[in-house]
Amino acid sequence: MLILENLSKTYSKGKVKAVDNLDLQVKDGEIFGFLGPNGAGKSTTIKMMTGILQPDEGNIILNGVSIRKEPYVFKHNIGYVPDNHATYDKLTGAEYLNFMGSMYDVPAEQLAQKAKTLAQKFGIENALNDQIKTYSHGMKQKLVVIGSLLHEPELWVLDEPLTGLDPQSTYELKAYMREHADKGHTVFFSSHVIDVVEKVCDRVGIIKNGRLVAVGTIDQLKSQNSSLEEYFLNVTNRDDFVG
């Protein structure tokens, strides 16, 4: 289980509250959708969950491991797909996967088997000998996705993962998210595409001005409005809304 406890982060020496006292629990085997308008604090929350940013207050606990107390063990259990697809683009795809496998202590056999299966699934097996700089936007995204899965992470964090993917890969990624959750792992997924969130996620959280304003299953959130999109717009447009 993933637990975010009173998580807070401020920028500009405390003048801007990016995340404000965020409390959240995500269960094992769940795909959790994280929604919010631009600048709401989604990326800051994700960056704190992955160790890129240090929270000012609060803690993050994954299956009993605290990011503050055991950062390396915590990170070992996370797979992260960033929204900017930044990778070492002078490496070839295969070299990048070897590097990621080594960093996460993936045994050579598991690495080879996982890399081959996933590369085939996402249709980039023929490009793995090319340097990443020659990849298209979507191919880079696929490679980063594969790299984040080599060690079978307990928590898979994806920040806007569908941007730039072709329909076939979008379908494969969505299917794999479900497959990963069905193995008992947690998938934490941020997106602006509400239709996808509605179809893929078990539960959704909506963040606004750094505060979590709504959490629930799709059905729970939709019950007050006809669609998740309407609910989202309603929540994010009202200043006084408390979910």
Partner 1 sequence: MKDFSLLFSALFKQSFRFDKSKAKGQKKWTIILLYAIVAICCLPMLAMVAYLLYEIGVLAVEIGATVGFLTCIFGISQVITLLFGLATVFNTIYFSKDNEMLLAYPIKPQTIFAVKLTFVYIIELMSSFATSVFMVVPFAIGAQLPFSIGLVFSFFILPVLPLFLATIIAIPLTYGMSFLKNRGVLSSIIYVLFATVLFVAYFFVVNSIGMAEESADMAQMLVALADQANAIANVLLPDKFLALSMVGGSFGTATLNFVYALLIDLALFAFAYFISSFVYKRSVSKQLETPKSNSNKKQKYESQNKVWAIIKKDFLEIIRYPALAFYCLFEIIIGPAFMLIMGLNMSSMFEVEIQEVGMSFVEIMAQIPDLVALVLICITCFMVFSTNYTATTAFTRENRNFYLLKILPVSYQKVVDAKAILAFIVNEIGVVVMLILAWAILHVPVLSVVISLVVCTVIGLVFSYVQVYLDMRSPKLNWDNISAGLKNNPASLFSLLLAVATLAILIGLYVLFSLAGISIMMYIYFVVICFVSLLCFFVARNVAIKNAQYIIENTNI
Q: Which stretch binds partner 1 (CB under 8 A): 20-28, 47-55, 189-197, 202-210?
A: 47-55
Shortest separation between residue 213's beta carbon and partner 1, angstroms: 26
Q: Which stretch binds partner 1 (CB under 8 A): 1-9, 111-119, 176-184, 220-228?
A: 111-119
Q: Which of 27, 68, 90, 137 binds partner 1 (CB under 8 A)?
A: 90
Question: Which residues in 38-72 are b (16+ Cβ under 10 Å) and which e?
Answer: eebbbbbbbbbbbeebebeebebbbeebebeeeee
Beta strands in 27-170 (DSSP E): 31-35, 57-62, 65-66, 78-81, 155-159
6 closest CA partner among 27, 19, 23, 18: 23
Nearer to partner 1 by Cβ, of 36 and 55: the residue is: 55
- Six-digit token pair at 45? 């929350």
Q: Which stretch binds partner 1 (CB under 8 A): 20-28, 91-99, 185-193, 201-209?
A: 91-99
CA–CA dist 16, 87 (Å, integer)? 30
Nearer to partner 1 by Cβ, of 158 and 206: the residue is: 158
- Residues in contact with partner 1 by the rule CB under 8 A: 47, 50-54, 72-76, 78, 80, 82, 84, 86-88, 90-91, 94-95, 97-99, 101-108, 111-112, 115-116, 126-131, 133-134
